Chains A and B, each alone.
Chain A
Amino acid sequence: MLYREAGDFKTTYVADSQTFPLKLDRIGFWVTMAVAWLVIPFVINDYWASSLLVPFLIYAIAAIGLNILTGYCGQVSLGTGGFMAVGAYACYKLMTSFPDINIMIHIVLAGGITAIVGAAFGLPSLRIKGFYLAVATLAAQFFLVWLFNKVAWFYNYSASGQINAPERLVAGVAVTGPSTPAWAQYLICLFFVTLCALIARNLTRGTIGRSWMAIRDMDIAAEIIGVNPLKAKLTAFAVSSFFVGIAGALFFSVYLGAVEVGEVFGIQKSFLVLFMIIIGGLGSIFGSFAGAAFLVLLPVALKWIGVDVMGWPTDLVAHFQLVIVGALIMFFLIKEPHGLAQLWRLAKEKLRLWPFPY
């Protein structure tokens, strides 16, 4: 009934290979975009921005980045937190060294710097894979955090070792610093999410994305049919780190405003983003969003239900959060190992046959 492709005729190749082949999907996409761009900025407040939407959008970028590397190219990485730190510190150094240049350019440049660092740490992937590569990227995680803690140049020799984002304007409106309005904070993140998702979606549908997937599915076979593993793996690391770096730069400058590397970009961050793509669905852009939404919104929702609605003690709720999130992760992995994206795909299949699914 719903989601039926009957009657949705394609008469050109361009129409046939578009991102959303089904009309209902296209409508859904444009409605979502319209709500995100035209409705939410007018109704958002500080709480919704800094507790839910801004972290969700930033984690979505990080999850897209990691999904390119792990989901599309099959290279497991535990260095996401470290690469986010590279983005954050690159953004900080650029912001403080060149205060007159637009912050948007700094954020993109921070992504570029992270891409270079990521590609360098991706070199071992040419020789090692699987768990061994995971351990190599874990080394990157610890090394980068140690570096930013140890070398005072990175935090401009401040006494506390923290980095603080000074106020920067885009088109006359503050987007970093304490007097940033909630809608500006939200819009700048939305801008980068939209851009990253579009780039990622189109990369993964093209030659380069296909070469990543070939490497993921069987690297020897891919090499035999002419995929250059050096190029495929290193581009995956570079593109993935680019997105992760942008996420790190936004996380520091727009979301938190002050960052302490060991706490904010520690190993937990790497695991959190990895959980996001596993729960959301490996090798799916939609899955990156679903996973980020799940892990950002669920704890806040559980806290709201436990403390504000039920009136339980806060420590009990905090412990329950861990139990429930953990149990749900296991539940999803057992019931649907391919994540929320696969659930969505199945739901679409069922909707197509509705009201007589089989």
Chain B
Amino acid sequence: MKMKKLAAMALAGTMAAAPAMAELVIPDLSYRTGPYAAGGTPFSDGYQDYFNLLNARDGGIGGEAIRIVECETGYNTEKGVECYESTKGEGALIYQPLSTGITYQLIPKATVDEIPIHTMGYGRTSAANGEVFNWVFNYPANYWDAASVMVNYLLDENGGDLSGKSIALVYHNSAYGKEPIRTLEELSAMHGFELSQLAVDHPGQEQKSQWLQIRRERPDYVLMWGWGVMNQVAVQEAANIGFPMENFIGNWWAGAEHDVTPAGAGADGYKSLNMNRVDASLPVFDEIRTLVHEAGNAAGDGSNMGSVLYTRGMYAAMLASEAIANAQDIHGVTDVTAAMVRDGMASLEITEARMAELGMSQIGPEFSVSCENHGGSGLGIVQQWNAADGQWVALTDYIAPDDSVIDPLIAADSAAFAAENNIEPGCL
């Protein structure tokens, strides 16, 4: 009896999960639970809301409805792999794992399964070399770009000379946090600044000793590669030891509203990078409000609209939908496959005219992707937190990274990966 019931349930389950024909399936490996939920939730809300907007306004992409399959990873690699395996069979077109750890798991798997991965500003930096990583894209910018943009910004502040300065890097002790070290070491040798490294273990609630060390050594600048609860703790600790906040710069995953608000006025002046502009008055938000939220289709509680990470999630969804539309153009069919979406991503071009047309003028830099270069332009802006007004203020225009430093590093790292995995570099 029990078995029968179970079997019936299993049957109902497979029937419910069976893909309806001619749908664009987009998995969302989100994390709305655990120590990284504060960042995962707004990103996922923005990602889903934009696809829901396309469904409501345009009937999907090229007339094909979009179906989002959400899977909770908790920022945990094992759950991420389970999510990938359970969603790929539904005809997934593109993965956006929002976790460097999960990205490392998925790069070899997705390459074999021929499903593209878009790791926007995270993941494996050397995936920018499209000849080795045919199925992985990390446009518009990557971690090594971020490190270089930070140093270029500091060079600019110091009249082009950083020699004798000391810079401390506070980083999440994981693949994510360790990514910029190689670039920063290179840059430190080039510009003559002294680099010290302070690792913070997952999840990052315990940082007393690191900030004690900063208090003792008084570095001129502190750079941070943090995520989740680690950011809030670091900003609070920096405020506690009285570190000058304007000399404390986080990367683009350490610069959202929820990272700075817990420290109150103490966080005023904290700086971070951003790869997209934050502007709550963009016309696209009005459309989402009327067509998605008021229709009752909001992902999450709808409270994150316009925040840094919501905007970035929406930006990621826009890049994905543009790539799908591009793939539909190239192949002349609307019901595209994952391999076609890859082609669409590899020849993607984002222009200001197109962004304005989509109601998100200037949200990101203009860039184009090619078979060889999956990394985009690598530009980033520096923004500063204004605690009194409770908003991020962009201090600079898009700053370019130093490609002469990064390109050889990418070539070396991707060559090592290719040798390790017997990959013959080349375009698909």
A residues whose Cβ falls under 8 Å from a Cβ of B:
46-47, 50-51, 55, 149, 159-162, 164, 166-167, 177-179, 256-258, 260, 262-264, 266, 300, 303-305, 307-309, 313-315, 317-319
Interface residue? B70 (CB, 8 A): yes
- Residues in B neighbouring A178, C-beta threshold 8 A: 108-109, 111-112
Are the C-beta atoms of B182 and A51 separated by less than 8 Å?
no
Are the C-beta atoms of B70 and A161 separated by less than 8 Å?
no
Given A178-B109, A258-B105, 7 other A-B residues pairs in contact with their CB atoms under 8 A: A46-B88, A47-B85, A164-B420, A257-B105, A258-B77, A308-B17, A314-B30
Q: How far is the CA of A145 from the CA of B287 in the complex (A)?
A: 49
- Residues in B neighbouring A317, C-beta threshold 8 A: 72
**Among residues 12 to 52 in chain B, which have CB atoms less than 8 Å away from a CB atom of chain A?**
12-13, 16-17, 30, 32-33, 37, 41
* Partner pick for B85 among A46, A149, A256, CB 8 A cutoff: A46
Interface residue? B174 (CB, 8 A): yes
- Residues in A neighbouring B86, C-beta threshold 8 A: 47, 51
Are the C-beta atoms of B101 and A318 separated by less than 8 Å?
no
Shortest C-beta distance, A263 to chain B (Å), equals: 6
Q: How far is the CA of A34 from the CA of B85 in the complex (A)?
A: 27
Shortest C-beta distance, B199 to chain A (Å), equals: 8
Are the C-beta atoms of B32 and A318 separated by less than 8 Å?
yes
**Among residues 157 to 179 in chain B, which have CB atoms less than 8 Å away from a CB atom of chain A?**
173-175, 178-179
Interface residue? B286 (CB, 8 A): no
Return 30 A-B CB contacts under 8 Å, by A number: A46-B88, A46-B89, A51-B82, A51-B85, A149-B199, A159-B179, A159-B181, A159-B413, A160-B175, A162-B104, A164-B104, A166-B421, A178-B108, A178-B109, A256-B77, A256-B78, A257-B105, A257-B109, A260-B77, A262-B201, A263-B76, A263-B202, A308-B16, A308-B17, A309-B13, A309-B16, A315-B32, A315-B37, A315-B41, A318-B74
Shortest C-beta distance, B262 to chain A (Å), equals: 21
Are the C-beta atoms of B179 and A160 separated by less than 8 Å?
yes
Are the C-beta atoms of A177 and B108 separated by less than 8 Å?
yes
| Of A166, A178, A317, most B-chain CB atoms within 10 Å | A178
Are the C-beta atoms of B101 and A263 separated by less than 8 Å?
yes
Q: How far is the CA of A179 from the CA of B30 in the complex (A)?
A: 26
Output the nearest chain B residue to A165 by Cβ-Cβ distance: B108
Shortest C-beta distance, A260 to chain B (Å), equals: 5
Interface residue? B415 (CB, 8 A): no
Q: How far is the CA of A307 from the CA of B71 in the complex (A)?
A: 9
Are the C-beta atoms of A263 and B420 separated by less than 8 Å?
no
- Residues in B neighbouring A314, C-beta threshold 8 A: 30, 32, 70-72
Shortest C-beta distance, A297 to chain B (Å), equals: 12
Q: How far is the CA of A166 from the CA of B178 in the complex (A)?
A: 21
Are the C-beta atoms of A262 and B173 separated by less than 8 Å?
yes
B residues whose Cβ falls under 8 Å from a Cβ of A:
9, 12-13, 16-17, 30, 32-33, 37, 41, 70-72, 74, 76-78, 81-82, 85-86, 88-89, 100-101, 104-105, 108-109, 111-112, 124, 173-175, 178-179, 181-182, 199, 201-202, 413, 420-422
Q: How far is the CA of A159 from the CA of B183 in the complex (A)?
A: 10
Shortest C-beta distance, B83 to chain A (Å), equals: 9
- Residues in A neighbouring B104, C-beta threshold 8 A: 160, 162, 164, 258, 260
Are the C-beta atoms of A161 and B174 separated by less than 8 Å?
yes
Q: How far is the CA of A178 from the CA of B104 in the complex (A)?
A: 12
Output the nearest chain A residue to B70 by Cβ-Cβ distance: A314
Q: How far is the CA of A314 from the CA of B28 in the complex (A)?
A: 11
- Residues in A neighbouring B173, C-beta threshold 8 A: 149, 262
Are the C-beta atoms of A256 and B105 separated by less than 8 Å?
yes
Shortest C-beta distance, A132 to chain B (Å), equals: 24
* Partner pick for A304 among B13, B70, B76, B179, CB 8 A cutoff: B13
| Of B12, B70, B178, B202, most A-chain CB atoms within 10 Å | B178
- Residues in A neighbouring B111, C-beta threshold 8 A: 178
Shortest C-beta distance, A54 to chain B (Å), equals: 10
| Of A51, A304, A315, most B-chain CB atoms within 10 Å | A315
Q: How far is the CA of A262 from the CA of B172 in the complex (A)?
A: 11
Shortest C-beta distance, B65 to chain A (Å), equals: 18
- Residues in A neighbouring B89, C-beta threshold 8 A: 46-47
Are the C-beta atoms of B30 and A309 separated by less than 8 Å?
no
- Residues in A neighbouring B112, C-beta threshold 8 A: 178-179
- Residues in A neighbouring B199, C-beta threshold 8 A: 149
| Of A149, A177, A258, A309, most B-chain CB atoms within 10 Å | A258
- Residues in A neighbouring B179, C-beta threshold 8 A: 159-160
Output the nearest chain A residue to B81 by Cβ-Cβ distance: A50
Q: How far is the CA of A315 from the CA of B182 in the complex (A)?
A: 36
Q: Which 9 A-B pairs have the closest CB atoms?
A: A315-B32, A178-B108, A160-B175, A314-B72, A318-B33, A178-B112, A51-B82, A318-B72, A258-B104
Q: How far is the CA of A260 from the CA of B72 in the complex (A)?
A: 20
- Residues in A neighbouring B201, C-beta threshold 8 A: 262
Q: How far is the CA of A263 from the CA of B76 in the complex (A)?
A: 8
- Residues in B neighbouring A164, C-beta threshold 8 A: 104, 108, 420
Are the C-beta atoms of B421 and A161 separated by less than 8 Å?
no
- Residues in B neighbouring A307, C-beta threshold 8 A: 70-71
Q: How far is the CA of A164 from the CA of B421 in the complex (A)?
A: 10
Q: How far is the CA of A143 from the CA of B142 in the complex (A)?
A: 32
Shortest C-beta distance, A169 to chain B (Å), equals: 12
Are the C-beta atoms of B33 and A309 separated by less than 8 Å?
no
Output the nearest chain B residue to A306 by Cβ-Cβ distance: B72
Q: How far is the CA of A166 from the CA of B418 in the complex (A)?
A: 11
Shortest C-beta distance, A22 to chain B (Å), equals: 24
Output the nearest chain B residue to A46 by Cβ-Cβ distance: B85
- Residues in A neighbouring B174, C-beta threshold 8 A: 161, 260, 262-263
| Contact flag A308-B13 (CB < 8 Å), given A167-B421, A263-B174 | yes
| Contact flag A256-B70 (CB < 8 Å), given A160-B175, A179-B112, A309-B12 | no
Shortest C-beta distance, B9 to chain A (Å), equals: 7
Q: How far is the CA of A339 from the CA of B104 in the complex (A)?
A: 37
Shortest C-beta distance, B237 to chain A (Å), equals: 20
Shortest C-beta distance, A119 to chain B (Å), equals: 28
- Residues in B neighbouring A308, C-beta threshold 8 A: 13, 16-17
Q: How far is the CA of A55 from the CA of B124 in the complex (A)?
A: 26
| Contact flag A256-B74 (CB < 8 Å), given A160-B179, A262-B174, A309-B9 | no
Shortest C-beta distance, A273 to chain B (Å), equals: 14
Are the C-beta atoms of B78 and A55 separated by less than 8 Å?
yes
- Residues in A neighbouring B88, C-beta threshold 8 A: 46
Q: How far is the CA of A177 from the CA of B85 in the complex (A)?
A: 15
- Residues in B neighbouring A46, C-beta threshold 8 A: 85, 88-89
- Residues in B neighbouring A162, C-beta threshold 8 A: 104, 175
| Contact flag A159-B32 (CB < 8 Å), given A164-B420, A256-B105, A257-B108 | no
Shortest C-beta distance, B130 to chain A (Å), equals: 18
Q: How far is the CA of A177 from the CA of B77 in the complex (A)?
A: 16
Are the C-beta atoms of B178 and A161 separated by less than 8 Å?
yes
Output the nearest chain B residue to A262 by Cβ-Cβ distance: B202
